């Protein structure tokens, strides 16, 4: 098991991504793994000791940040009889979604952060959270990706 809590900045270059992400005193990193994603893109998973994870994916053509934004706007506008989607944060590069299940009122939160680093586009997305505060804290960690 790899605990990287003592460092303040984790370099991801050894995982094929020329960027870094800050660590957090409360949420220590347990493990970082690299694999090839579904779309043959570089994908780095950062798993935290609290069980949460961030996935950093390089966006490869023909996909782009603009296309991803467009697809999420379509999903948010679409009505669903079982689930209500609401954007709690929606900026050009950050999205935090609240998903409410109509049958029991349960809420799930998920975020996505989009970044351009050294001319390459990246998406950092999260696990699903039951707790909005925890989701926002993890989103703030993801925003340190640079």
pLDDT attached to residue 39: 56
pLDDT attached to residue 37: 63
Q: Shortest CA distance to 22 belongs to which of 39, 35, 9?
A: 9
What is the pTM assigned to this prediction? 0.85
The 3-state secondary structure of 108-144 reads EEEEEEEEEECCEEEEEEECCECCHHHHHHHHHHHCC
Parts of the chain with a pLDDT under 50 = 1-6
Residue 110, H or E segment: strand 107-117
Domains present along the chain, CATH in parentheses: 9-142 (3.30.530)
């Amino acid at each position: 098991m790899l605990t990287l809590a003592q460092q303040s900045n984790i370099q991801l270059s050894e995982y094929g991504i020329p960027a870094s992400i800050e660590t957090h005193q409360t949420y220590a990193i347990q493990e970082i793994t690299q694999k090839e994603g579904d779309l043959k893109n570089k994908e780095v998973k950062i798993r935290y000791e609290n069980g949460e994870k961030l996935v950093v994916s390089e966006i490869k053509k023909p996909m782009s940040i603009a296309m991803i934004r467009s697809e999420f706007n379509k999903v948010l506008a679409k009505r669903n009889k079982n689930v209500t989607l609401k954007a709690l944060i929606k900026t050009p590069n950050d999205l935090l979604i609240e998903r409410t299940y109509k049958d029991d009122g349960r809420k799930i939160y998920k975020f996505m952060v989009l970044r351009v680093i050294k001319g390459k586009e990246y998406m950092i997305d999260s696990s699903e959270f039951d707790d909005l505060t925890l989701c926002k804290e993890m989103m703030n960690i993801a925003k340190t990706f640079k």
